[in-house]
A = this chain, B = another copy of it.
């Protein structure tokens, strides 16, 4: 892939690890900074449709999250220093009215902001869906107007990006002009 020379190191080097250092411990202060980055993300009308279940490896919340991982994620995710279940508010409490048209979009943004902060700490994030959504909702008393949308494993990756191929999906991206629906290019303008 050729990428813009102006692209940040974060965008160039980010990847989703499948092997984490089991000896790395994340401090409470580092966890605080990840949650701060998420809660400061923008959202439609400042609706902030997010909440987080946060387990550090070895604590009670972590153990209860690990119990509800699918087999595929149970093989690697527990070794991360931190597991986070990312929740979006889908409905207004006690109703079937959508809370925000952008609840999932904005949760995605918040987790991306958490990801930037993770990289600023020299760590990395792997998001996944291989968990029992209903079981986690029961385990943590999540009410029906909220959804446990995704999970994230966060920690210190072991080895180079190329060695983290365990998730089975390609890391290739569509070409730049294949993600541009409409754009005027000026052939006389340099980069």
Residues of B within 8 A of A159 (CB): none
For A176, the chain B residues whose CB sits under 8 A away are: 32, 35-36, 39
| Residue from the list B42, B87, B150, B181 in contact with A105, Cβ < 8 A | B150
A66 beta carbon closer than 8 Å to chain B: no
Q: Please name all residues of chain B whose beta carbon is closer than 8 Å to the beta carbon of A42 when the two chains form the complex.
A: 14, 16, 115, 127
Q: Evaluate whether A10 and B116 lie within 8 angstroms (CB atoms) in the complex, with A52-B180, A108-B105, A108-B108 already known.
A: yes
- Which of B31, B51, B106 sits near A181, CB closer than 8 Å? B51
Closest to A185 in B: B28
Binding site for B on A (CB under 8 A): 3-8, 10-12, 14, 16, 27-33, 35-42, 44-46, 48, 50-56, 59-61, 85, 87, 101-102, 104-109, 111-113, 115-117, 120-121, 127, 129, 140, 142, 149-150, 169-174, 176, 179-186, 189-191
Some 29 contacts from A to B, beta carbons below 8 A apart, are A3-B36, A4-B29, A4-B32, A6-B120, A7-B40, A7-B117, A11-B117, A12-B40, A27-B189, A29-B191, A32-B176, A35-B176, A38-B179, A40-B173, A46-B169, A51-B179, A52-B179, A52-B180, A52-B181, A53-B183, A56-B184, A59-B184, A87-B181, A102-B104, A104-B104, A104-B105, A105-B149, A106-B108, A140-B182
